Amino acid sequence: MVGGVCSVIIVGLTGLVLGLIFNHFLPLLLKLGVAPKGTFGWPLLGETLSFLKPHSSNSLGSFLQDHCSRYGKVFKSHLFFSPTIVSCDQELNYFILQNEDKLFQCSYPKPIHGVLGDSSMLVVVGDTHRRLRNLALTLVSTTKSNPSYLNDIERTITRTLDSWQDNQQIIFCEEARKFSFHVIVKQVLGLTPDDPQTAKILEDFLTFMKGLISIPLYIPGTAYARAVKARTRIASTVKAIVDERIGNGEVSNKQGDFLQLLLSANTLSDNEKLSFVLDSLLGGYETTSLLMAMAVQFLGQSPAAMAQLKTEHENIRRDKGEGEHLNWEDYKKMEFTQNVINEALRCGNVVKFVHRKAIKDVRFKEYSIPSGWKVLPVFSAVHLDPSLHGNALQFHPWRWEGVQTHSQTSKKFTPFGGGPRFCPGSELAKVEIAFFLHHLVLRYRWRPEGVDQAMAYPYVEFQRGLPLRLYQIS
């Protein structure tokens, strides 16, 4: 009996290994038409480890630099256990993003599904994605200019900056994460920073984030296994909060409330609604706080940009009454602030690339992309391309003066993706950061404590958490 089980296991493992090897070498034997140049690297692993090698987020990294110089901006490789076309070309990237569900489809590695859940808007495709996205757009449109939402942001900013008054040094990334989490958890679940559930969800969320970017081994004690369990706990906490609100009649009495709109979405299953809440927390937490840290770091390195930003916000504050909240019209006046945010997005590259796969044989210019191959449009390569952006490695927010960047059709600037998967919450993130910068530059000056660098792993993280020395402004 034991021998039979062992035989089955050995046969299964042998089949898996042979399948992976076959998957690696078969594309080399097929006629691909005019395939991009490139190499597949090692069997099984391909070039994945080299591709994921850490590098500063405002650079291409050695892998892309080497491959682009040898093979051009579009090349073939073998990444994430799949034959892959890597695109550092703005035209092909745009073509991929605009042909979602026609020629290409979202295709994140299976371990990502294990942490996010199969109903996450980040991984679902087709009609399911369209239903979730339409709901997201509805929520964003009803939220972004809502005075109560904007006032909540300012109250959270004031609370955060007040907590720094007795500190000469802060770890800014930690502060930015707490701030962005408190904003999104208030908007989505109606929780304040003092609610016990807020601390509980935040603790589990930190575990969740560490596992999302870890080696995907579901073994007790690993970061990945802890993340899967943390997601289950977050889901349980969120469900309890929703059930309590429904039982008390709180949700149904708040017209336009996030939970009211979500729970009334009859096109979504309960599991999809729960995943939607988790996606909202994720989107409003990690990427927003990281972009905020990028802007603060770059401003600290550019006295001219800092001076112009402060002048803009002094002028806005001068027109406001004592203690009067900022509003949507004030946000629209923050033109140079928008330039700073756009330039932080371009230089910092919070999202380096996205995962897609070809669902049909695709011909683009002289290239052939076989059906089933993974396709990676690399946004950072376009953002740092000196032929598209003068002095591409320099933080220069004035480059955006007079440039319309809100259009989804921009080819050389895609920090929020594009096409049907353009990030629906991008405007909310910009409002949050603009309001934060408004209060920050009017209350504090800062300088970095030592050298810190945002590194792409490929996720982006500051090595030391961006420690800052603070100076209060009278």
For residue 449, give the nearest of 273, 296, 264 by alpha carbon: 296
Nearest to 57, CA basis, from 332, 264, 293: 293
CA–CA gap between residue 130 and residue 149 (Å, rounded): 26
Among all chains, which residue has been given the structure tokens 């405002």? 58
CA distance 16 to 11: 9
**Strand 367-369 with 362-364, pairing:** antiparallel
CA-based nearest residue to 276, from 115, 430, 129, 426: 129
Which string of DSSP letters, residue by residue, matches 96-146? HHHTBTTTEEE---HHHHHHH-TT-TTT--HHHHHHHHHHHHHHHHHHTT-
Q: Is 359 helix (H, G, I), strand (E, B) or coil?
A: coil
Which secondary structure element, helix H or strand E, spans residue 357, and what is its range?
strand 356-358
83 class by beta-carbon count within 10 Å (0-12 exposed, 13-18 middle, 19+ buried): buried
- In Å, what is the CA distance from 113 to each residue of 11, 86, 280? 27, 22, 16
Burial (Cβ within 10 Å: 0-12, 13-18, ≥19) of residue 157: buried
CB-based contacts of 33, cutoff 8 Å, min separation 6: 363, 368
Spatial CB neighbours of 31, under 8 Å, sequence gap ≥ 6: none
Tell me how crowded residue 396 is: count the other CB atoms within 10 A of its CB.
19
Annotated binding-site residue? 423:
yes
Q: How many helices (H) and strands (E) does the chain have?
A: 18, 13
73/42 Cα distance (integer angstroms): 22
Distance CA 369, CA 373 (A): 7
- Binding positions: 423
- Binding positions for heme: 423
